[in-house]
Chain A
Amino acid sequence: MSDDNGLWLLAIGPAGATALYWALYRYYRNTDKSHAFERETAVEAQPVTGSDEKIGENNGTRETSISGNNVSAYRTRVERVRDDAG
């Protein structure tokens, strides 16, 4: 309702201030920069192989993407299966 709408609008000020602060802070200090080895290393890859199997449905969700989506977060490590033989 209009109350709901109004409260949401009130957040614009602090959110804008914080966003600008961090954008400028990173522009000056560059704390988020590092060697982009994923893009800048010469990699020769064989064709990707794999399997896709439907295991279920996720119906009636309000989220726009899968929970824990990490397809682009290459540097976020997940459970490591050790390969002792190799």
Chain B
Amino acid sequence: MSNANSPPPLPPVTGPGSPQDVPPLLGSVPIDPATLPEAIREELLAPDPVAIDTSAAELKDGLNRCPKCGATDIRHKPGSDLLVCLYCRNEWQGARVEEEFGFGVGIGQLKGTVIASGARDIAADVASLMSFKCTGCGAEVTVNTDNAMTARCHWCRHVLGVNEQVANGAVPDAVLPFHIKKDDAVARIRQFVDKRRLFALKAFKEQFTPQNVVGVYLPYMIVDGNVSVEVAGQGEIQTREYTRGTGDKKKTYYDADVYQVERQVDFTVDDLPLESSTERGNLDTKTNTNNIINTILPFDTKNAVKWNASYLSGFTSEKRNTDVERLRPRLEDQLLSVGRAQVEASVSRYGRGVRWEQERLSVHGTRWVSMYLPVWLYSYHQPGSNGGMLHYIAVNGRTGETMGSVPVQQWKLLTAALTVGTFLEGIALWIMVGTS
């Protein structure tokens, strides 16, 4: 067969099979599993990790000192939105930013660009290393805001957190605490990989240790928008279907009416998340698997609480490095896509489809809020050319939605494909011999 020696090329960055495609519905498989060999079918049909609904989540908030005893050894209580004082066991919650700052209301009246204080532009001269004078003992303590927001004073064991909003992008407006516990995340990752073992890379299976999953707070911009989208193009309605010719030369022809179609829709979007780290926002599937982390969006950002560094103790974090203006093209692209999805139902009478040729976006107002969102990340580095590939398996720290990239053992996959292809070819030849 033509594809016997070299594997088919990788899917292109744009076009079919890339994250630029509208993703298929969850759990859908392009080939009917019933037609596949039993071992493959079992993997495809095994249950996916279940995503839970956390919309009734509790609120929470915090100071860096326990309001009851004043201790600083404060942690986020796993599985809840509470903070707990490790000294006196006092537990308390924080204010939801949704109500506190009125995010989520008045989107329809938004005008211009509203930027929350934590989403302001990043100043070039602000270092990511910040040092504090410990109020307990006077020692200097350094926090590297690239990957952490709290540090313990090694002399008096006070915990210091970065609470004040500095212009290096490290302190967001709000944080959404982890809801899914580590054990739960490990179980979901295991379940996800168990569905994908047959053709997985041998080294990946041997080194698979989901206990090594880490909790990371990743930076996002949560955007509300008030926009209008106009599209114009041509649509066709079939008026007649007929055949010409006889026997083997019979061909089907169609007659259609052509219409000039224009549509306009005003809409608001609420809490659209955009990656505000340049690295995470790069969804080139040839060089990285960041689309995996993109897929587990969205989060229940309505439940986000006011920033408190104590939520991050025990977790790592990634600093925001993108400003509002840099993210605007991606926002506009997504808004146009949403608009096109909105008008689709209104052109259903065009049975032969519509070819949109022009589109126009008018952004009346946007509101930008910077947020840390919780993700459990398991990673595996596959060696290869150009530094290899880092494969992620990510679990949404709120809903438990799980997505991952499992490296494949190419020769196994090719053998299976060729075996099935040869089998089909055998049937084809058998039919040809039978009919000639």
Contacts and interface: CB of A to CB of B under 8 A. Distances in A.
Contact of B408 (A16, A29, A45, A70): A29
Contact of B256 (A21, A59, A79): A59
B174 to A, nearest CB: 17
Interface of A: 1-2, 4-6, 9-10, 12-14, 16-75, 77-83, 86
Contact of A25 (B336, B347, B364, B413): B413
Contact of A31 (B199, B285, B346, B352): B285
A37 B272 contact: yes
B270 interface: yes
A33 B23 contact: yes
B40 A41 contact: no
B11 A32 contact: yes
B20 to A, nearest CB: 6
A58 B239 CA distance: 10
| Interface of A: prevailing SS | mixed
Contacts of B29: 23, 27
A79 B258 CA distance: 20
Contact of B342 (A1, A43, A67, A70): A43
Contacts of B230: 81
Nearest to B405: A29
A82 B283 CA distance: 26
Contact of B199 (A6, A28, A69, A74): A28
Given A43-B267, A44-B270, 4 more contacts: A21-B413, A29-B405, A43-B269, A69-B354
B263 A50 contact: yes
A75 B248 contact: no
8 contacts: A2-B436, A29-B406, A30-B405, A33-B295, A52-B262, A57-B258, A61-B254, A75-B333
A20 B148 CA distance: 44
Interface centre among A4, A16, A29, A79 (most CB of B within 10 A): A29
Contacts of B24: 32-33
Contacts of A78: 233, 356-359
A36 B416 CA distance: 31
Contacts, number: 316
Given A33-B292, A46-B267, A13 B362 contact: no
Contacts of B291: 30-31, 33-34
Given A64-B352, A71-B344, A38 B22 contact: yes
Interface centre among B23, B200, B420 (most CB of A within 10 A): B23
Q: Could you say which interface size class chain B belongs to?
A: 35 or more
Interface centre among A28, A38, A45 (most CB of B within 10 A): A28
Interface centre among A4, A19, A70, A75 (most CB of B within 10 A): A75
Contacts of B19: 31-34
A45 to B, nearest CB: 4
Contact of B22 (A30, A58, A62, A73): A73
A41 B269 contact: yes
Contacts of A43: 267-270, 338, 342
B363 interface: yes
A68 B228 CA distance: 24
Contacts of B436: 2, 6
Interface of B: 1-3, 7-8, 11, 16-24, 29-31, 36, 40, 43-44, 107-108, 196, 199-200, 228, 230, 233-236, 239-240, 248, 251-273, 283, 285, 289, 291-292, 294-298, 333-334, 336-338, 340-347, 350, 352-364, 403-408, 413-414, 416-418, 420-422, 424-429, 431-432, 435-436
B359 A81 contact: yes
Contacts of B30: 19, 22-23, 26
Contact of A66 (B334, B352, B403, B418): B352
Nearest to B355: A68
A44 B1 CA distance: 52
Contacts of B296: 35
B196 A28 contact: yes
Nearest to B24: A32
Contacts of B20: 34, 75
A70 B356 contact: yes
A14 B67 CA distance: 69
A31 B18 contact: yes
A83 B227 CA distance: 12
Contacts of A32: 11, 16-19, 21, 23-24
Nearest to B235: A66
B215 to A, nearest CB: 20
Contact of A57 (B18, B23, B256, B267): B256
A68 B344 CA distance: 15
A31 B11 contact: yes
